[in-house]
Structure 1
Amino acid sequence: MSASRRRGTGTNQEAVRRHNLATLLGHVHHSGGVSRAQLTERMGLNRSTIGDLVRELDELAVVHQSTPEVGTTRVGAGRPSLDVNPDPDSVHVLAAELGVDTLDVARVGLGGAVLDRISRPTPASPDPDVVVDLVVDMLRELLASASPGSRLVGIGVAVPGVVNDATGLVRFAPNLGWSDVSLTPMLASRIGLKVPVRLGNDAELGALAEHIRGAGRHLSHLVYISCDVGVGGGVIIEGLPMRGASGYAGEVGHQRFDNGSARCRCGNTGCWETEIGSHAVAEAVGCPPDRMDQLEQYLRPGQPVPPALRRLAHSLGVGLGGLVNVFNPEVVILGGVLRWVYPLVRDDVLDAFEAWALDAPAREASIVLPWLAGDSVIVGAAELAFTDLLADPVGSLARAEGALTAVLGS
């Protein structure tokens, strides 16, 4: 065999090894811990190869092994297989959710555990420069709480608007008043870290989190509705996010609804979000505009349901019926303020849904609440931030070395 052919063979073997390493780490991260026997079964590799891969990840300090607890289901005969667990203290990401009313940031460890978080009010006039400076300060505060030596491998940001992750551009976020804001470059330059900064739509990231860790886990077709001031949709089809040609898909809140006459912040009239968004909910239950942060208090079980909220429930059910007709999901997950609304008016929503949705797709779809409650979007932003690590653990960790020291020393 020629020297060049031998080099080619070695290169291919290295590529396969790094691919397997990434695949194995993905299983550990998404499962929160998995046995070596289960990894052997899932990946179709022999036990010695799995052992070598686990050993390499252990040496990289991203996983650790432990003896399974008594009573744990075993795969196969013989000695109990060791569990492989993520090490959240050794590797973490930063995640930010830019809301109209609140800015939330979190430090999330490998395996998906939220380790620390900070929330602050969004400035009354959310100028992009002001918001970015505030978010950077919050992220730096979280970094200061990380364990010495913990490696930052990415930053993920969720925005309530039309975004393009490839360019880092917020094309249009009407409820923030933003248009053509180069958010990723702004954040990357001001935080001054050599880690990837990724940008995503809030509803798409909510769908991603619920698909990996929540109510849509193990399902291939789902719709997630993000409902706060704005209304957006995240769609998973055949296990993959539906993003559209430029990443702009999912703006379900800006579909014309019925004969609505309310002016939407996008500039159009009669958008679905004017019918079911948080301001419509607040008006329906008598929550004053200056108490929007207390809206949940007006939506507690046991209180009389106002007729206006029942009308809103009808609008919600009709809109969900249309989405089910279009996307044929297995589950529709109601996030944001709809987590509080739906339990109060479930029958009204379902009556309208069943009247509008076609019988066949309606019978296959369940309407549920998010398992991650109010954390769906920020956990989704964290999953986005883990992208590079899960694609190439060795390369990502090599780039991450020294990032924490750099920011704390600046």
Structure 2
Amino acid sequence: MSTRETLAGSPDVRRTNLAVMLRHLHLDGPMRRADLTERLRLTRSTVAGLVGELGRLGLVEQAVAGTSTVPAGRGRPSPVVRPCPLGTQVLAAEVRIDQVEVALVGLGGTVLRRESRLLTDRDPQATADLLAGVVRGLLADAPGRVVGLGVAVPGVVRHDDGDVRFAPNLRWRDVGLGAMLAERLPGTDVQVLNDGDAGALAEHLRGVARGWGDVVFVEGEVGVGSGVIIDGRPLVGAGGYAGELGHIAVAGPAGRRCRCGSYGCWETEIGRDALTRALGLGPDVSRRTLVAALHAPRTDLAARLDKVAYHLGAGLAVVVNVFNPRLIVLGGLLREVYPRVSGEVRRAMLAGALTAPAEQVRLVLPELGDDAVLLGAAETVWQRVLLDPVGALGG
């Protein structure tokens, strides 16, 4: 037996190879076993053994060659290996200002089922009750093993225990949401994270930012959520609070008062309230009505959004100067706004950004649409399984 085969068969290296193979399948989808052999640079027999082990864990399945959409190669047909979404799942939840959404997500990022509920009572205990109730319903119907729950929240989240230190648009301060949910859902591994961080992770792994190492995700809704990827890794900071770009000052002391207590924050100038004012809509207008107004064929739309566009570009200039990203992904309501005022946004950004980093950045829309945050919450839970499938699933 060769040294390479001996090393590949050792327990620690074998577990590492299982993790690498599973990550490829989770993110890239079905693959011929011959392609896995080439990617992992292992022998065919070693790869066959690894596939068999992942199959016994209920993570992958093999299909007869010719029954899959994966292109066939030359020579003898190679079995196709694909992630098995019905074998193992995670739960993902997104807490918004007016609703919660919970999904059951299978391996490979397949959303098997989702449920939405209006959030009529933003009290933390009531929100935890609502989330737990929806989660229990999805758990009861889950076709396989569920390994955890990821919850994305529009607020500043301490990464080591899931405490929401500050969520101004929910009016939460020092809310132990992770502990609340763990108490209501015994035996469920709960992870709480910032919604912008979730969106950045999902677009980086599965969306428009895949393959790019330096990315900033900016989602405009009631507030502005954001997440930062630097050199391929999420930027979290000492406590998990990095990347709160919604509270950079773009309008100064003369700007509107933000729910955080400061004045002129970015989210006060480009968030939902700023958009409704610009379009002459009432303060309680629904998101659907607001989006419809942004798509309406009106000749004065660009003029009405001029101030929002300027502040969006001015804030992006700060982002460009500080992080030097290759991509800035504009999600949420900004996905609807940007195409209508892209020229003014770019002019304002270039006026405030340094030439060198501005030359390298592209402004793009999310590939995952409004699912970016939800899928990012799922990916946060999947990371533990992908790092060590055997340890995570008790194989």
**If the length of structure 1 is used for normalisation, what is the TM-score?**
0.89
Amino acid at match of 2:198: L
Amino acid at match of 1:180: D
Amino acid at match of 2:308: L
Shift of 1:74: 5.5
Are the counterparts in 2 of residues 168 and 183 from structure 1 also a CA contact under 8 Å? yes
2:368 equivalent to 1:372: yes
Aligned with residue 101 of structure 2, among 86, 100, 104: 104
Aligned position for 2:266: 272
Q: Distance in 1 between matches of 2:178 and 2:39?
A: 36
Q: Distance in 2 between matches of 1:72 and 1:59?
A: 23
Are the counterparts in 2 of residues 228 and 336 from structure 1 also a CA contact under 8 Å? yes
Aligned with residue 172 of structure 1, among 143, 152, 166: 166
Aligned with residue 320 of structure 2, among 310, 324, 344: 324
Instruction: Kindly report the root-mean-square deviation, in angstroms, between the aligned alpha carbons of the 2 structures.
Output: 2.0
**242-251 vs 19-28, which moves further:** 19-28
Are the counterparts in 2 of residues 161 and 173 from structure 1 also a CA contact under 8 Å? yes
Aligned position for 2:56: 59
Q: Distance in 2 between matches of 1:25 and 1:216?
A: 21
Aligned with residue 155 of structure 1, among 136, 149, 158: 149
Amino acid at match of 1:167: D
Q: Distance in 2 between matches of 1:287 and 1:103?
A: 24
Structure 1 residue ranges, 4+ long, deviating more than 4 angstroms after superposition: 68-75
2:243 equivalent to 1:225: no
Q: Distance in 2 between matches of 1:355 and 1:73?
A: 48
The 5 Å alignment of 1:294-309 reads 294-300=289-295, 302-304=297-299, 305=301, 307-309=303-305
2:17 equivalent to 1:20: yes
Report the CA distance shift for 1:68/1:153 in structure 2 as closer, same or farther (over 3 A).
Answer: farther
Amino acid at match of 2:30: G
Shift of 1:37: 2.5
Are the counterparts in 1 of residues 247 and 267 from structure 2 also a CA contact under 8 Å? yes
2:33 equivalent to 1:36: yes
Aligned with residue 287 of structure 1, among 281, 285, 294: 281
Identity %: 48
Shift of 1:346: 1.3
The 5 Å alignment of 1:67-86 reads 67-68=65-66, 72-73=70-71, 77-86=74-83
Report the CA distance shift for 1:325/1:151 in structure 2 as closer, same or farther (over 3 A).
Answer: same
The 5 Å alignment of 1:123-138 reads 123=120, 125-138=121-134
Per-residue CA distance 1:151-209 (angstroms, 9 max, x = gap)? 101110001111112112111111111111111111011022x2321111100110000
3-state secondary structure, aligned to 2:37: helix
2:354 equivalent to 1:361: no
Per-residue CA distance 1:281-327 (angstroms, 9 max, x = gap)? 11111222222332211111533315331110111011112211211
Aligned position for 1:351: 347
- Bigger RCO of structures 1 and 2 (CA < 8 A, at least 6 apart): 1
Report the CA distance shift for 1:225/1:100 in structure 2 as closer, same or farther (over 3 A).
Answer: same
Aligned position for 1:404: none
Are the counterparts in 2 of residues 214 and 371 from structure 1 also a CA contact under 8 Å? yes
Per-residue CA distance 1:65-110 (angstroms, 9 max, x = gap)? 12256885456x5323322111111111111101112211111111
Are the counterparts in 1 of residues 248 and 315 from structure 2 also a CA contact under 8 Å? no
Q: Distance in 2 between matches of 1:103 and 1:369?
A: 23
Per-residue CA distance 1:207-232 (angstroms, 9 max, x = gap)? 00000110101111111002111112
Are the counterparts in 1 of residues 70 and 80 from structure 2 also a CA contact under 8 Å? no
Aligned with residue 227 of structure 2, among 229, 234, 242: 234
Amino acid at match of 1:110: L
2:184 equivalent to 1:187: no
Aligned position for 2:255: 261
3-state secondary structure, aligned to 1:96: strand
Report the CA distance shift for 1:202/1:288 in structure 2 as closer, same or farther (over 3 A).
Answer: same
Identify unmatched segments of 5+ residues in structure 2: 1-5
Are the counterparts in 2 of residues 68 and 81 from structure 1 also a CA contact under 8 Å? no
Amino acid at match of 1:43: L
Aligned position for 1:90: 87
3-state secondary structure, aligned to 2:322: helix
Q: Distance in 1 between matches of 2:266 and 2:278?
A: 15
Q: Distance in 1 between matches of 2:66 and 2:280?
A: 53
Amino acid at match of 2:290: L
Report the CA distance shift for 1:69/1:355 in structure 2 as closer, same or farther (over 3 A).
Answer: farther
2:329 equivalent to 1:333: yes
**If the length of structure 2 is used for normalisation, what is the TM-score?**
0.93
Are the counterparts in 2 of residues 301 and 344 from structure 1 also a CA contact under 8 Å? no
